[in-house]
Chain A
Amino acid sequence: MPRKNRRNPEFFEKPEAPPARADAPLWALAPGYDVRHVGGEKEYRCPGCDHVVRPGVWHLVVVPQGEPDERRHWHTECWRREIRRLGGRA
């Protein structure tokens, strides 16, 4: 006898996609830079450590103000280190 209590696929097979971008944590904000928290499908090269930012890993996108072409994807930890180098004088 065929089963009747099939799950409604409409209901169960479409988990809600997480938001692709969000505001960066407060510590990551630096004057003169736009910082966003993102998770993406692409692979990037982190300027802080020269290693890969793996697809799907949440990380930070940093854009110096007035310089849209200098937008870079940073590991969160690498940007934390970069912020320390800014030393509050930016």
Chain B
Amino acid sequence: MTVPEERLAFDSGKGQVSAAFARPPEPVATLVVSHGAGSGMDHPFLVGFTRAMNEQAIATLRFNFPYMEAGRRSTDPQPVAVAAWRAAFEAAVARAGGGQVFAGGKSYGGRMASVAVAEGMPAAGLVFLGYPLHPPGKPERVRDEHLYAIEVPMLFLHGTLDPFADPRLLKRVIDRLGTRATLLEVTGGDHSFNVRGAKKEPREVGASLAPLVASFIRELV
């Protein structure tokens, strides 16, 4: 059974942006997800992930950041991305039917979700599909300051071969976050959760993460 997907648009503060909302019958919660820096909301990884979340009885909303909607390659300034996140979150709350709303995203999208939550966006929890802790090869430029201001539960899904987060540095961050943070490692996974030799399509790879995220959310609602 496939949950029908509603295409919609909302005002991001920098023009209208596209979104896709899907609500399974009697959802346990809603998850809003944003895309990584280089790919939009309809990237097969994100589509596969959200569709599989729907099968786990979790409603989803994917959306485009304004730069992606405009067909640009340069990511938005942070205040623009955070404003778009808040607007997406409100659009999801309006459709969630009273259930809890979680926020998350792939790489850059997850980091923007966390900045929005650190600045007061009332998400029930955060889900990071590959948190970009530092630029590849530059572990000295760790970007974790704002995470300690977040009080809701956070799930870090992380490929052990992801060059955007040195596993030891990430564990240090998780330890410092204490009980708020949960780390789930995908052994041999890169930044896109591809495992060498596994030869899975991005859609399948995205879908394979959904059960892990769904059980994290179920424990909280």
What's the nearest-Cβ distance from chain B to residue A55, in Å? 18
If A68-B141, A69-B143, A90-B14 touch, whether A48 touches B73 (CB-CB below 8 Å) is: yes
Closest Cβ neighbor of A31 among chain B residues:
B77
Q: Is A87 an interface position by the 8 A CB rule? A: yes
* Count of residues in B whose CB is under 8 Å from the partner chain: 21
Query: Are B15's CB and A67's CB within 8 A?
Result: no
* CA of A86 to CA of B108, assembled, Å: 20
Contact with B along A39-78 (1 / 0, CB 8 A): 0000000011000000000000010111111101000000
Q: Are B72 and A65 in contact (CB under 8 A)?
A: no
Taken together as a complex, chains A and B put the C-alpha atoms of A33 and B77 apart, in Å, by 7
Q: Answer yes or no: B121 CB below 8 A from chain A CBs.
A: no
Question: Are B78 and A66 within 8 A (Cβ)?
Answer: yes
Say whether B132 faces chain A, with CB atoms less than 8 Å apart: yes
- Chain A residues lying within 8 Å of B79, measured Cβ to Cβ, are 32, 65-66
With A32-B77, A65-B77 already in contact, the answer to whether A85 and B72 are too (CB < 8 A) is yes
Q: Given A69-B135, A69-B143, do A47 and B70 touch, yes or no (CB 8 Å)?
A: no
Q: Is A14 close to B, CB under 8 A?
A: no
Q: How near does chain A come to B73, taking the closest CB pair, in angstroms?
A: 4
Does B141 lie within 8 Å of A33, measured CB to CB? no
Q: Which of A66, A69, A85, A89 touches B77 (beta carbons < 8 Å)?
A: A66
- The answer to whether B78 touches A65 (Cβ under 8 A) is yes
The interface residues of chain B lying within 8 Å CB-to-CB of A85 are 70-72
Give the contacting residue for B75; candidates A70, A86, A87, A89; CB below 8 A. Answer: A70
Q: Counting chain A CB atoms within 10 Å of each CB, which of B72, B74, B132 scores highest?
A: B74
Within 8 A of B (CB), among A4-36: 32-33
Q: How many residues of A contact B (CB 8 A)?
A: 19
User: B120-149: which have CB < 8 Å to A?
Assistant: 132, 134-135, 141, 143
Contact residues of B between 78 and 104, Cβ < 8 Å to A: 78-81
Q: List chain B residues, Cβ under 8 A from A66.
A: 77-79
Cβ contact within 8 Å between A67 and B75: yes
**Known interface pairs A69-B132, A89-B14; A64-B76 also in contact (CB < 8 Å):** yes
Q: Are B37's CB and A70's CB within 8 A?
A: yes
Q: Is B141 within 8 A of A69, CB to CB? A: yes
**Which residues on A sit within 8 Å (CB–CB) of B71?**
85
Q: Is the CB–CB distance between A64 and B143 below 8 Å?
A: no
Identify which of B73, B78, B141 contacts A67 (C-beta below 8 A): B78
**If the complex has contacts A32-B80, A70-B37, are A47 and B132 also in contact, measured as CB distance less than 8 A?**
no
Q: Which residues of A contact B81 (CB under 8 A)?
A: 67
Which of B73, B79, B134 counts the most chain A CB atoms within 10 A? B73
List 20 A–B pairs whose Cβ atoms lie within 8 Å, in order of A's numbering: A32-B77, A32-B79, A64-B74, A64-B77, A66-B77, A66-B79, A67-B77, A69-B143, A70-B74, A70-B108, A82-B72, A82-B74, A85-B70, A85-B71, A85-B72, A86-B70, A87-B70, A89-B14, A89-B15, A90-B80
